[in-house]
A and B are shown apart, each in its own frame.
Chain A
Amino acid sequence: MSLQLFIEQLLNGIQFGFMLFLMSAGLTLIFGVMGLINLAHGSFFMIGAFSASFVAGLTGNFFLAILASLIFPALIGIMVEFSIIRKLYERDHLDQVLATFALILIFSEAIRYIFGAFPLFLDIPNILQGNILLPGEIVYSKYRLIIIIIGLFIALGLYFLINRTLLGIQIKAGQNDRQMIRVLGINISRLYTIVFAIGAALAGLAGALIGAIQSVEVGMGEPVLILAFVVIVIGGIGSIKGALIGALLIGVLDTMARLFLPIFFELIMETSQALSLGSSLASMSAYLLMALVLIFRPTGLFGKK
């Protein structure tokens, strides 16, 4: 294996990690601030991809499509928070799981009703097609590089939002003590709506960015949602920093395991068994890491207490 291939795979892992980060940032914020387990977060991923595909089909403009993938999920997020989610904050987690699971089914069937059962088309614009030559003779996809850069900016933006703005202080206060910030006279329901909309918009953005290189179809959000939950458990629930580190860890681990485990097992056993065992173990790697983290740090890497 050449060094170039190794670095290319490392970049692939980082790109996958940033995509997971976009999903898990919203999830962890919503859980941290409102104490809500939101299974319907994957639906916003799907809604983002479908809105982008719809707008790209209408206008032919990818950048408008990306904009739509932020706006539509945020608007729908606000509506859902207003009408349904709001009633769930005081209920226990099991009720929340049940209600947001129902939302998954409703969103999936609504999308199928509107757009049909067949996958939609969404492609990256011509200027982002193809590869770019990075220093050190590394060939890398332009579009994936853009995803990494967008992910970096979002991470920086969230850091700034949480640590440097009034809203961020309120969010942090909300995570620490919900009762207290209500007593201090902060409009908590407005804060909740804003946080929910931010989470939905980030998931929608992830859906559109990924939809352009994968397939835009009903049910596309749930596999990502499962990994996003793994990420926030590893990173520590409620911690944006934890979500970032957790997402990058999972992204790189998953990619590297897919690459190296089959090669590793080929050294010690027969090829066909090695391929099968290697790829099975690679798909388990994220969950194995989660189990390890839970054994040694039950609250996650950056969790409180």
Chain B
Amino acid sequence: MFKKSISTFILFLLTISYAYGDKVKVGMITTLSGGGSGLGIDIRDGFALAVKDEPNIEIISGDDQRKPDIAVQLADKMIQSDKVDIITGIVWSNLAMAVVPAVVNQGKFYLSPNAGPSLLAGKKCHKNYFNIAWQNDNLHEAAGGYASSAGFKNSFIIAPNYPAGKDALTGYKRFFKGSIENEVYTKLGQTDYAAEIAKIRASNADSVYFFLPGGMGIAFIKQFSQAQVDLPLVGPAFSFDQGILKAVGDAALGVKNTSQWSKDIENAENKKFVEDFQSAYGRLPSLYASQGYDTGKIIVSAMANASIKDMDAFREALKNAPSQGFKSTRGKFSFSSNHHPIQDIYVREVVEENGTLTNKLISSGLVDHSNFYVDQCKM
């Protein structure tokens, strides 16, 4: 009798926790070695943290080494021999452009935890493609809006000469009401900005906006500060993220930057995420980690409401996750018709907190912000 009731109880537990007990295989293609690996490692760790209590998710990881051809090979291998259901993890827009169309056309889901190139939001959008982070232009649009509201009239803007760099400056200009003193495109991967900073010093600009992800941004902020150019600097969160602030040092203090996430956004989910991440990995989470975490949680939520075997139902469950139990670390979150987030984008300031440089929220820049490409997307 006792045995029987125990087994019934266990059976009962099983039925509630695994409404649809089908295993979901997730292919995690991200940058784990070489330059830029900090971003990929954060996405992977955030994702793993989100799904650690969900035994029906199996993660298969692969290191794309930041190279499009390797990412494509990994995706092929994961789809053909590992038979994954969902692929996620890619950090860089150029890699996403190489991988995503092939993945979604083969009837697999792709959930982007970072890259959001405009083409995938607009003309090349797809019903199996979801972006959990942002459309590439979003943070820059918020920065343009912030610069206007801060009273800047004339900006010097700078970005690398590649598609995401052009998207960035386009996004900034879309929401900035002032004039543009000069628009400079630098070589991708350039790390010496002496020539550009001399130009900035000689210009009549009253503010500088830059989008220089990774090491480029570290180099730019340090050199800008060392050159003692007395102009306010505005940037997207990428150059002021937790992993980067350590390397930039005090040069970043006081700089305003825009982000959809910050570790001090007040909601229960975010509080739990920041605490769990710190205790699991011994470091503060970055926005990349939060995006990986949200991606994991969306999958967990969709699994509770649909079976991966039924693609249409699972797609609906992903799309409706924000109203069916998924709670984003960012607070308000829903999907636009082209499967990109509708969310608030905040303005943060770099401050020193107990001897560590970090970000503090100072205002909400854009509220319930969607993206510019919704109308171009025909699913």
Contact = CB atoms under 8 A, between A and B. Distances in A.
A262 B191 CA distance: 19
A215 B191 contact: yes
Contact of B226 (A9, A119, A213, A215): A213
Interface string B195-227: 110110110000000000011001100110011
B356 to A, nearest CB: 12
Interface string A70-88: 0000000000000000000
A9 B195 contact: yes
Nearest to A6: B198
A112 B218 CA distance: 18
A150 interface: no
A180 B219 CA distance: 48
Residue among B198, B219, B243 with most chain A CB within 10 A: B198
Contact of B38 (A117, A144, A280): A117
22 contacts: A9-B194, A9-B195, A108-B33, A112-B33, A119-B243, A121-B249, A123-B222, A123-B249, A124-B226, A210-B191, A213-B222, A213-B223, A217-B215, A218-B34, A219-B34, A220-B35, A220-B215, A258-B195, A275-B183, A275-B184, A279-B186, A279-B187
Given A117-B37, A279-B185, A279-B186, 5 more contacts: A12-B195, A112-B33, A210-B192, A215-B247, A219-B35
Contacts of B185: 275-276, 279
A141 B190 CA distance: 19
Contacts of B302: none
Given A5-B202, A121-B249, A259-B195, A213 B161 contact: no
Given A120-B247, A215-B247, A5 B35 contact: no
Interface string B73-108: 000000000000000000000000000000000000
A283 B37 contact: no
Interface string A118-154: 1111011000011100000001010110000000000
B35 A217 contact: yes
Contacts of B194: 9, 12, 15-16, 141, 144, 255
Interface residues of B, number: 40
A15 B223 CA distance: 14
Contacts of B354: none
B309 interface: no
Interface of B: 33-35, 37-38, 41, 161, 166, 183-187, 189-192, 194-196, 198-199, 201-202, 214-215, 218-219, 222-223, 226-228, 243-244, 246-249, 251
Contacts of B218: 119, 214-215, 217
A200 interface: no
A9 B189 CA distance: 20
A38 B226 CA distance: 34
Contacts of B184: 262, 275, 279
B42 to A, nearest CB: 9
Contacts of B166: 276
B161 A214 contact: no
B34 A108 contact: yes
Contacts of A124: 226
Contacts of A2: 202
Contacts of A255: 194-195
B38 A119 contact: yes
A275 B170 CA distance: 14
B201 to A, nearest CB: 8
Residue among B191, B192, B215, B228 with most chain A CB within 10 A: B192
B202 A141 contact: no
Contacts of A119: 38, 215, 218, 243-244, 246-247
B161 A280 contact: yes
Contacts of A116: 38
B247 A118 contact: yes
Contacts of A130: 226, 228
A223 interface: yes
